[in-house]
Amino acid sequence: MIMSSKLKHFAFSTLLVVTLTGCNTPPDHEHSPMMTEVLASSKPEDWRPLDPESTLYVELASGRVVIELAPAFAPRHVANVKALAREHYYDGLAIVRAQDNYVVQWADPNAEKPELARHPQKAARTLPAEFERTIDPKLPFTRLPDGDVYAPEVGFSGGFPVARDRRSGRMWLIHSYGMIGAGRDQAPDSGGGTELYVVIGHAPRHLDRNATLLGRVVQGMELLSALPRGTGQMGFYEKPQEQVPIRSIRVAADVPESERSALEIMRTDTDTFQRLIESRRNRREAWFQKPAGHIEVCNMPVPVRARAAASAAR
Amino acid sequence: MIMSSKLKHFAFSTLLVVTLTGCNTPPDHEHSPMMTEVLASSKPEDWRPLDPESTLYVELASGRVVIELAPAFAPRHVANVKALAREHYYDGLAIVRAQDNYVVQWADPNAEKPELARHPQKAARTLPAEFERTIDPKLPFTRLPDGDVYAPEVGFSGGFPVARDRRSGRMWLIHSYGMIGAGRDQAPDSGGGTELYVVIGHAPRHLDRNATLLGRVVQGMELLSALPRGTGQMGFYEKPQEQVPIRSIRVAADVPESERSALEIMRTDTDTFQRLIESRRNRREAWFQKPAGHIEVCNMPVPVRARAAASAAR
């Protein structure tokens, strides 16, 4: 909502109040739930904790960025990024690029200097592309009902935005805001995870199936998206002192449990998520005059919350 | 392109080289131009200068944000925002909100304090909504060929992203990245331009026809999009010292010509823009393995460039 600043307190005092009146929705959508209602009525089983073996922590001076990895879509890249993290390849590298409405990217700032460039030890420098995969009926897929400009079908699988083409039998991750991919050179097999980028603008969907996506930022996105934009070509920082150091990247499983970020993500294969979709297709908050009646995949949020004490103790 | 950092110089040394080989495009798209070719071959008449009467300069400590206004879509709001600028209503106000993947918004930080709140002099505080308008055949409309999740037709009119519904005879501006709108309270006629917001994330298309859009940032977007996100509800800054002062907002026509930003925008009603659309639907740059074959309206750029000396002298 684009509330005026005067209304901000009002807006949030009503956030958890259930109201179904005063909204100019078409009759058939009159009983769409509001997002706040869906969240308030969700059950513990509608949420899942992050798997520490599929979670990365990017530690910056400004704080921690939490990434959920997507082994179902990029198994080799995920394994390699974890291997790189475990041999501390990323520690001391830097964010070298911030291109407005596009991506933030980290890499070895000395990649062009043979005598200084860092080399993976056991991990691979490059891997075959994992731009797409075969549709597997065992992978959950919650389809969105309103179509897509780029793909025959779009929806969510395991919390990730996904496109499918049943004719070709292929499915692939979508370049939504916050998605993480592996930078590469011109050859499709020239990436591997030593350089990673994060989408910080309108979804650059033309990159779908042209780069290996391997995860999504689930917390700390603002530490990346609000970085000063680089003034060099393609948003590269022109001066070394503009680069933002990466203190470390760790697999959450390797971090003492007391130092982990205790987060839960809403499951996307549930009736609750279906209700959430409906709440986003037709906004019933009183501010809205004309609910859209549609939702584009990159506008569909997957809620993240602090893990409840009870479930943290499980 | 998500080039590795090693390749950045290579990428740009080839930017203006015309090459039509080595790209895995479907046969029928083999001769799509590249964006660089379209720009390089454009003629002076493919570009238009900004009209100083429809241009705003937002002056921040960090620099100038240039906004093109859209009087064809929001005539009363545009006139009122200009009137507010001309009575210096905005000078000394502040950016009070930066919500990640959503909007940055400026307003009177004292709006809630009756004794300190600023009041427009001749300009209006509120206006009737201008969420949409009647389709006028005299308004140019360049339709995009690939459909849209939210609207029956989308394209460009006078440089602005536009949706149309021929059944209802209505057309409206689209909440693409960089679009400027008037914040409002719950009543549709409670906006008017005293508070303005800018889209800084994935296009929040559910706001279309729910708020009055009145312009677009054509230069300086990174001065807004890279602001630290507010930590309060809806991204409002919690402390006054976090707010970013607006030094002034001026109509370009009121600024001495020598101090104006000399910019040209590509016309969107030309064959050249059609070629640009095709270049974005099917990327033929060698990096791309699989051109998308589609373009979503919010991914279609409208190029802006420094005004050539010759045309500046016109």
Nearest by CB to A286, which of B2, B186, B233?
B186
* Nearest residue in chain B measured CA to CA from A284: B206
Q: What is residue B187's three-state secondary structure?
A: coil
Whose structure tokens read 């005067």? A6
pLDDT tens, A10-58? Answer: 333 333 222 223 333 333 455 689 999 999 999 999 999 999 999 999 9
- Is A143 found in the same domain as A108? yes
Cβ atoms within 10 Å of B259's Cβ, excluding its own: 10
Distance CA A295, CA A280 (A): 7
Tell me if chain A has a CB within 8 Å of the CB of B116.
no
Would you call A294 and B149 a contact, using CB atoms and an 8 Å cutoff? yes
Distance CA B142, CA A176 (A): 26
Q: Minimal CA–CA distance to B250: which of B118, B67, B71, B106?
A: B67
Query: Nearest CA of chain A to the CA of B251: how many Å?
Result: 23
- Is A305 found in the same domain as A181? no
- Is A244 found in the same domain as A124? yes
So what's the ipTM on this one? 0.91
* Nearest residue in chain B measured CA to CA from A13: B233
Cβ atoms within 10 Å of B121's Cβ, excluding its own: 11
- Is A280 found in the same domain as A141? no
Distance CA B163, CA B144 (A): 10
Query: Nearest CA of chain B to the CA of A21: how many Å?
Result: 13
Q: Which residues in chain A are closer than 8 Å to B197, comparing Cβ atoms?
A: 2
> Hey, which residues 284-313 in chain A have their CB within 8 Å of chain B?
286-292, 294-296, 298-299
- Is A235 found in the same domain as A115? yes
Would you call B292 and A195 a contact, using CB atoms and an 8 Å cutoff? no
Residue A81 lies in a domain: yes
- Is B158 found in the same domain as B252? yes
Number of domains within chain B: 2
Contact at 8 Å (CB) between B152 and B164?
Answer: yes
For residue B20, the model assigns a pLDDT of: 28
Boundaries of domain holding B20: 5-47+268-312
Distance CA A300, CA B294 (A): 21
Contact at 8 Å (CB) between B273 and B48?
Answer: no
Q: Which residues in chain B are closer than 8 Å to A96, comparing Cβ atoms?
A: 5
Instruction: Encode chain B (314 residues) as per-residue pLDDT tens digits.
Output: 566 655 454 333 333 222 223 333 333 455 689 999 999 999 999 999 999 999 999 999 999 999 999 999 999 999 999 999 999 999 999 999 999 999 999 999 999 899 999 999 999 999 999 999 999 999 999 999 999 999 999 999 999 999 999 999 999 999 999 999 999 999 999 999 999 999 999 999 999 999 999 999 999 999 999 999 999 999 999 999 999 999 999 999 999 999 999 999 999 999 999 999 999 999 999 999 999 999 999 999 999 999 875 454 44
Question: What are the residue ranges in chain A where pLDDT is below 70?
Answer: 1-31, 309-314
* Nearest residue in chain A measured CA to CA from B211: A2
Query: How many contacts does A have with B, using Cβ atoms within 8 A?
Result: 211
Token pair for A50:
């992050």
- H or E element in which residue A105 lies: strand A103-107
For residue B308, the model assigns a pLDDT of: 72
pTM score of the predicted model: 0.92
- Is B108 found in the same domain as B224? yes
Whose structure tokens read 């309108």? A202
For residue B212, the model assigns a pLDDT of: 98
Q: Which residues in chain B are closer than 8 Å to A283, comparing Cβ atoms?
A: 206
Tell me if chain A has a CB within 8 Å of the CB of B8.
yes
Q: Which residues in chain B are closer than 8 Å to A234, comparing Cβ atoms?
A: 1, 3, 8, 11-12
- Is A165 found in the same domain as A132? yes
Mutation to test the A interface, candidates B4, B14, B173, B231, most A Cβ within 10 Å: B4
Token pair for A268:
């996307």
Token pair for A72:
């179902």
- Is A210 found in the same domain as A188? yes
Would you call B176 and A202 a contact, using CB atoms and an 8 Å cutoff? yes
HEC per residue, B197-266: EEECCCCCHHHCCCCEEEEEEEECCHHHHCCCCCCCHHHECCCHHHCEECCEEEEHHHCCHHHCCCEEEE
> Hey, which residues 41-80 in chain A have their CB within 8 Å of chain B?
none
Nearest by CB to A292, which of B7, B150, B236?
B150
Distance CA B48, CA B314 (A): 12
Show the DSSP H helices in chain B as ranges. Answer: 8-13, 35-41, 75-86, 222-225, 271-281, 309-312
What's the sign of the alpha-carbon dihedral B261, B264, B265, B267?
Answer: positive
- Is B150 found in the same domain as B283? no
- Is A277 found in the same domain as A188? no
Residue A206 lies in a domain: yes
* Nearest residue in chain A measured CA to CA from B99: A222
Distance CA A35, CA A163 (A): 24
Distance CA A302, CA A304 (A): 7
Q: Which residues in chain A are closer than 8 Å to B210, comparing Cβ atoms?
A: 287-290
Tell me if chain A has a CB within 8 Å of the CB of B278.
no
Query: What CATH number does the domain containing B181 carry?
Result: 2.40.100.10
Q: What is the DSSP string of A225-245?
A: HTSPPP-SGGGB-SSGGGSEE
- H or E element in which residue A312 lies: helix A309-312
Nearest by CB to A149, which of B11, B109, B147?
B147
Residue A265 lies in a domain: no
Going by DSSP bridges, is the β-strand pair A47-49/A263-266 parallel, antiparallel, or unpaired? antiparallel
Q: What is residue A160's three-state secondary structure?
A: strand
Would you call A197 and B289 a contact, using CB atoms and an 8 Å cutoff? no
Distance CA A268, CA A303 (A): 10
* Nearest residue in chain B measured CA to CA from A95: B5
Cβ atoms within 10 Å of B47's Cβ, excluding its own: 20
- Is B254 found in the same domain as B292? no
Tell me if chain B has a CB within 8 Å of the CB of A96.
yes
Tell me if chain B has a CB within 8 Å of the CB of A185.
yes
For residue B163, the model assigns a pLDDT of: 98
